[in-house]
């Protein structure tokens, strides 16, 4: 429990009972997402334990959090659906039990801006999908360029009362941030990537007036933001060099016989900013042992086996990985000194 709480606190500056359950493996991210999206009535149906063990979580978390000097606040969980209703955590819970589940323990060292961001995370974004194929609206039987999933099924933007919003493509972080802040109603637009097997963000739907306001603000301080970007680029470059060096050292610690040049090459590749690789994840940047190992395995798979050739010849991804696994294991065994 303590390890799960510490990881959550390090990751986003606060910890909740839900974070602890995620860290313990009692809940999965997909369970919480289903709950936030209205596809589950509460979280209790996903939990593998009940009664006393759930009470123990709150007792241990309270003792640990007070010992760490964390500040106690109450979290309000709101659905990521059009109704934005308050979510239920447990079935027929006693008010005291429900309140315990809604506790949020916050680091006292956070700045005001960070505290504001934490509050906003309790109200997840509406998500609108750019479909990869035609769909039929569950209400009007029509179709469109975007849809939102709701209880009846997929809805076009007109039936979801979102057709008055305008699309702002991703790419300009300042414009996106300001337009979202100024818009009373907004939604994140995503599209399924067949190659990466995941939804990827395409932009935002915002109110037209909010977009106009954001554009005027960006024009007014464009020079200042350009100077800030130049400073940030220098700072990021130094941070990236340090991260790559730390990753290379961790690779050499985990795999003492890995050649130094190879460890540095793996570290540079996996820590490349904007790459989406494991080294840029939160666990990668914290030098988590599993994340570093995954980066090394990926490098061996592509550089020391015929994995890429198998994929090019039409072999399925899982089948290809099964075929080259002995070769990967041999390389790793040699690097960690067991062979």
pLDDT tens digit sequence for 226-250:
787 788 778 888 888 999 999 999 9
Q: What is the CA radius of gyration of the chain?
A: 24
What is the C-alpha to C-alpha distance for residues 276 and 292, in angstroms, rounded to an integer? 14
- pLDDT (0 to 100) of residue 339: 47
- Which residue positions in the chain have pLDDT lower than 50? 339
Q: Beta strand pairing status for 126-130 and 103-106? A: unpaired
**To which residue do tokens 């490098």 refer?**
299
- The 10s digit of each residue's pLDDT in 64-90 is 999 999 988 888 888 877 777 788 888
Helices and strands per DSSP (H, E), number in the chain: 14, 9
What is the C-alpha to C-alpha distance for residues 35 and 336, in angstroms, rounded to an integer? 43
């Amino acid at each position: 429990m303590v390890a799960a709480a510490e990881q959550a606190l390090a990751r986003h500056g606060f910890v909740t009972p839900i974070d602890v359950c995620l860290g313990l493996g009692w809940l999965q991210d997909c369970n919480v997402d289903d709950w936030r999206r209205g596809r589950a009535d509460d979280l209790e149906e996903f939990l593998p334990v009940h009664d006393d063990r759930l009470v123990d979580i709150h007792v241990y978390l309270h003792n640990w959090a007070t010992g760490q000097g964390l500040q106690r606040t109450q979290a309000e969980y709101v659905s990521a659906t059009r109704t934005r209703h308050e979510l239920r955590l447990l079935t027929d819970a006693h008010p005291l039990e429900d309140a315990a589940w809604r506790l949020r323990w916050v680091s006292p060292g956070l700045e005001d801006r960070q505290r504001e961001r934490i509050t906003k995370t309790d109200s997840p974004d509406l998500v609108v999908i750019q479909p990869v194929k035609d769909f039929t609206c569950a209400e009007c039987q029509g179709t469109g360029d975007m849809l939102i999933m709701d209880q009846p099924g997929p809805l076009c933007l007109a039936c979801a009362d979102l057709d008055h919003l305008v699309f702002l493509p991703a790419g300009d972080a300042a414009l996106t941030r300001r337009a979202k802040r100024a818009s009373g109603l907004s939604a994140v637009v995503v599209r399924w990537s067949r190659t990466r097997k995941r939804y990827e963000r395409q932009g935002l739907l915002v109110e037209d007036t909010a977009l106009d306001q954001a554009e005027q603000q960006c024009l007014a301080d464009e020079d200042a933001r350009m100077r800030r970007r130049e400073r940030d680029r220098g700072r990021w470059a130094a941070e990236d060099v340090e991260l790559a060096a730390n990753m290379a050292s961790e690779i050499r610690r985990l795999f003492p016989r890995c050649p130094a040049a190879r460890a540095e090459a793996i570290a540079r590749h996996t820590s490349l900013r904007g790459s989406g690789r494991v080294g840029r994840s939160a666990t990668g940047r914290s030098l988590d042992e599993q994340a570093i190992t995954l980066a090394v395995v990926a490098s061996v798979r592509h550089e020391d086996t015929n994995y890429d050739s198998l994929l090019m010849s039409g072999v399925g991804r899982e089948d290809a990985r099964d075929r080259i696994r002995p070769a990967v294991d041999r390389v790793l065994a040699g690097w960690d000194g067991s062979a």
